Amino acid sequence: MATKKPAKIASAKKGKGWVRTCPACNSDMAMAKILRVEASSGMFWLCSNASCNTLVTSAGANAGVLDLK
């Protein structure tokens, strides 16, 4: 009888590989889905620093600063 292989854990592979650094303040950025009425919506890298709020597109282009109203 064949034995089953244990399940691979995806989080162990990724680790810090999917984290980008902010071009403005050098803190970590996280991927976020942003829905906006006036500008383009979609998946963006968002700076984790609350005072910075820099947005970068998933392709790497600078998309400005997130304006929270």
Residue 65's pLDDT is what? Answer: 87
What's this model's pTM, rounded to 2 decimal places? 0.67
Tokens representing 3?
A: 């034995």
> Residues of the chain whose pLDDT is less than 70?
1, 8-17, 69
In a domain, 6, yes or no: no
* Residue pair 42/56 in contact by the 8 Å Cβ criterion: no
In a domain, 3, yes or no: no
In a domain, 43, yes or no: yes
In a domain, 8, yes or no: no
Residue 7's pLDDT is what? Answer: 74
Residue 9's pLDDT is what? Answer: 66
In a domain, 48, yes or no: yes
In a domain, 10, yes or no: no
Provide the domain limits for residue 49: 20-65
3-state secondary structure the chain: CCCCCCCCCHHHHHCCCCCEECCCCCCEEEEEEECCCCCCCEEEEEECCCCCCEEEECCCCEEEECCCC
- How many CB atoms lie under 10 A from the CB of residue 27? 13
* Number of domains composing the chain: 1
In a domain, 14, yes or no: no
